[in-house]
Chains A and B, each alone.
Chain A
């Protein structure tokens, strides 16, 4: 399998030469009683400072496992990383000691989780949990850390921060809790934030507010952002580029606008077609048939073939490479690739 070098979308705020984070040919496996689950199979992606990469996929696509591998919070065992590199500012984090990685976590790379209620410690006040970042990483006193915590809560627009700093997570609303999670991730002004479905657990109205806050702060600090989601709607406004994952592989990669306009993979097309649209009111909504694959028994060939309307014999036997996508006149489309044997037909047809 040839690995296609990714060409990243130039970012207006790009500072360093190389990408901030680069994942190279990453493999993650889980050893379970039923057998070896290949959750991630050769994923490549990169993010620059100030850039937002959206990783799109259903549950089980490997998008979250990849993120956890980057953070170094996979449970090993059962998980193993048999192959791959995760380069942070050019250094392979998989080769670092546990202590070196710990110092990157929270300080250089931070993570926002989906369910803030269960992700915050229920028996510690939010002020304590926020202040802990400063106490542990910067050695601040309890008092100074608390002041910093209030400052952070103000920054993420929590009303009456000083009065609420000693409250516990369950005393906040869902949106406010997610703001606290964001504040915690931002605390030490990291270079990269990984947000794993940051708005999925929230009401639709609150989702937009939280998303806006996140991208506003990202711009302010010029951070790289990896946004993991299954929701194409969330992605459109904030992402620079998208990687679509299916069964542990990237199946399509593209700058955000191009992906929406012209998908080059039948799976992406299916996802786009199943978004409800106002101009199609009353029509039956498209749905991708079948179920996501069981990772213990991934179909041979292209993992998507049993659900694919375009599947041919070759799809059932050969795993497609991630082909560079070009126009009909063979001019290259910057930053685009598709892992479909029939990407041309999908893109142009």
Chain B
């Protein structure tokens, strides 16, 4: 097990370097300039621009810039400076992350509880009316784009019914976060439902379920212990990898509900061509994603004794 973790951590290094380099290259190699962007349409004097470019190291070759950036990040936990505000990127991230983590956690909880419940109900009645209704709901959730769903919920629950506020002003207020969390969770929720449904329906036909019934176990034990213990393994795997996706996918949701989290910061960084901020954000998202994947793999071995990592 220890060796497996070590090998996985080693494998993560090239992927980590690859993703950061890729995003770095994309931000800097594509046309546009963050410094010029500072001055808007009027444009600053060439001397000022050149001086600023030098200050931020933008006049150096791209790979040197990358090297310096990564060195500072790893050695000093220094993610650079947000050019627009002049604040260290770590400060910006420190403000944005807790907001997104609260939003993503709530979304995760919704997707976990509702998704699994719906999937179990559908899987237990595979092929019947309940199953088809659940299938329809999940297909709709996958099909209606996030921003459309956001608009619809806003119109219905905020403007028409006045139950929930249309925008989030205080990200620690979970009532305000509820609607955005539902929107953020929707697509993943549908996948969790489908996955649970398939897994439950498949395991329900397994021989060991027949054995459990033949043992005279009560139904809630057959389902709760024997069926669930097996059916939820792939679902948990998916949920684990989804943690990173929820955080990265918050761009649209945060924009819709005016939430000042990672998504909003990412969006601003992209449109303002703020390379340093963007690379910092992506680096952290990638780390979350890689570690979540590793955790899922390890969890898999705990849940399924047939899997042993050497």
**Direct A–B contact in the complex, CB atoms closer than 8 angstroms:** yes
Write the residues of chain A forming the contact surface with B, with a CB cutoff of 8 angstroms.
71, 73, 102-107, 110-111, 113, 115, 118-125, 132-133, 136-137, 168, 170, 184
Q: Chain B residues near A110 (CB, 8 Å)?
A: 214-215
The 8 listed contacts between A and B (C-beta, < 8 Å) are: A106-B216, A106-B217, A110-B215, A111-B214, A118-B206, A123-B305, A124-B229, A125-B305
The answer to whether B212 and A121 have CB atoms under 8 Å apart is yes
Any A CB within 8 A of the CB of B46? no
Which of B216, B225, B230 makes the CB contact (< 8 A) with A102?
B216
A193 nearest CB across to chain B (Å) = 11
The answer to whether B217 and A132 have CB atoms under 8 Å apart is yes
Q: How many A-B residue pairs have CB under 8 A?
A: 73
Assess A168 versus B305: contact at CB under 8 Å? Given A105-B216, A121-B229, A136-B216. yes
Which of A119, A122, A137 makes the CB contact (< 8 A) with B230?
A122
Which of A106, A113, A137 makes the CB contact (< 8 A) with B207?
A113
The answer to whether A106 and B304 have CB atoms under 8 Å apart is no
Assess A120 versus B208: contact at CB under 8 Å? Given A168-B306, A170-B306. yes
Any A CB within 8 A of the CB of B61? no
The answer to whether A103 and B216 have CB atoms under 8 Å apart is yes
Contact-residue bracket for chain B: 20 to 34
Assess A119 versus B216: contact at CB under 8 Å? Given A124-B229, A170-B305. no
Please, how many angstroms separate the alpha-carbon atoms of A123 and B236 in the complex?
A: 15
Any A CB within 8 A of the CB of B211? yes
Please, how many angstroms separate the alpha-carbon atoms of A111 and B208 in the complex?
A: 12
Please, how many angstroms separate the alpha-carbon atoms of A110 and B215 in the complex?
A: 7
A interface footprint on B282-310 (CB within 8 Å = 1, 0 otherwise): 00000000000000000000011110000
Q: Chain A residues near B225 (CB, 8 Å)?
A: 124
B41 nearest CB across to chain A (Å) = 64
Q: Chain A residues near B230 (CB, 8 Å)?
A: 121-123
Any A CB within 8 A of the CB of B213? yes
For the complex with contacts A73-B213, A105-B213, A111-B211, 14 further pairs of A-B residues with Cβ separation under 8 Å are: A105-B216, A111-B214, A118-B207, A121-B230, A123-B230, A123-B305, A124-B226, A124-B229, A125-B305, A132-B217, A133-B215, A136-B216, A168-B306, A184-B215
For window 199-256 of chain B, which residues contact chain A by CB distance below 8 Å? 206-208, 210-218, 221, 225-226, 229-230, 233
Closest-by-CB residue of A relative to B205 is: A75
The answer to whether B214 and A71 have CB atoms under 8 Å apart is yes
B257 nearest CB across to chain A (Å) = 41
Which of B208, B214, B221 makes the CB contact (< 8 A) with A105?
B214
The answer to whether A136 and B226 have CB atoms under 8 Å apart is no
The 10 closest A-B pairs by CB, nearest first: A106-B216, A105-B216, A118-B207, A106-B215, A121-B208, A168-B305, A119-B207, A111-B214, A119-B211, A73-B213
Q: Chain A residues near B208 (CB, 8 Å)?
A: 118-122
Which of A111, A119, A122, A136 makes the CB contact (< 8 A) with B217?
A136
A260 nearest CB across to chain B (Å) = 31
Please, how many angstroms separate the alpha-carbon atoms of A137 and B214 in the complex?
A: 13
The answer to whether A137 and B212 have CB atoms under 8 Å apart is no
B74 nearest CB across to chain A (Å) = 40
Q: Chain B residues near A104 (CB, 8 Å)?
A: 216
A99 nearest CB across to chain B (Å) = 8
Closest-by-CB residue of B relative to A194 is: B214
Closest-by-CB residue of A relative to B211 is: A119
Q: Chain B residues near A111 (CB, 8 Å)?
A: 211, 214
Please, how many angstroms separate the alpha-carbon atoms of A184 and B212 in the complex?
A: 11
Q: Chain B residues near A120 (CB, 8 Å)?
A: 208, 211
B300 nearest CB across to chain A (Å) = 11
A229 nearest CB across to chain B (Å) = 18
The answer to whether A123 and B215 have CB atoms under 8 Å apart is no
Which of B207, B210, B215, B305 makes the CB contact (< 8 A) with A132?
B215
The answer to whether A137 and B229 have CB atoms under 8 Å apart is no
The answer to whether B211 and A122 have CB atoms under 8 Å apart is no
Please, how many angstroms separate the alpha-carbon atoms of A121 and B305 in the complex?
A: 11
Assess A123 versus B210: contact at CB under 8 Å? Given A107-B216, A132-B215, A136-B216. no
Please, how many angstroms separate the alpha-carbon atoms of A168 and B303 in the complex?
A: 12
Please, how many angstroms separate the alpha-carbon atoms of A137 and B233 in the complex?
A: 28
- Residue of B208, B221, B226, B229 most packed against chain A (CB within 10 A): B208
Please, how many angstroms separate the alpha-carbon atoms of A104 and B210 in the complex?
A: 15
The answer to whether B306 and A73 have CB atoms under 8 Å apart is no
Q: Chain A residues near B305 (CB, 8 Å)?
A: 122-123, 125, 168, 170
A139 nearest CB across to chain B (Å) = 13
B220 nearest CB across to chain A (Å) = 11
Which of A71, A107, A115, A122 makes the CB contact (< 8 A) with B306?
A122
B168 nearest CB across to chain A (Å) = 41
A interface footprint on B93-126 (CB within 8 Å = 1, 0 otherwise): 0000000000000000000000000000000000
The answer to whether B229 and A113 have CB atoms under 8 Å apart is no
The answer to whether A136 and B229 have CB atoms under 8 Å apart is no
The answer to whether B206 and A73 have CB atoms under 8 Å apart is no
Q: Chain A residues near B304 (CB, 8 Å)?
A: 122-123
Please, how many angstroms separate the alpha-carbon atoms of A119 and B218 in the complex?
A: 18
Please, how many angstroms separate the alpha-carbon atoms of A198 and B207 in the complex?
A: 14
A16 nearest CB across to chain B (Å) = 22
Q: Chain B residues near A71 (CB, 8 Å)?
A: 214
Closest-by-CB residue of A relative to B303 is: A123
A195 nearest CB across to chain B (Å) = 12
Assess A136 versus B218: contact at CB under 8 Å? Given A73-B213, A123-B229. yes
Please, how many angstroms separate the alpha-carbon atoms of A175 and B306 in the complex?
A: 19
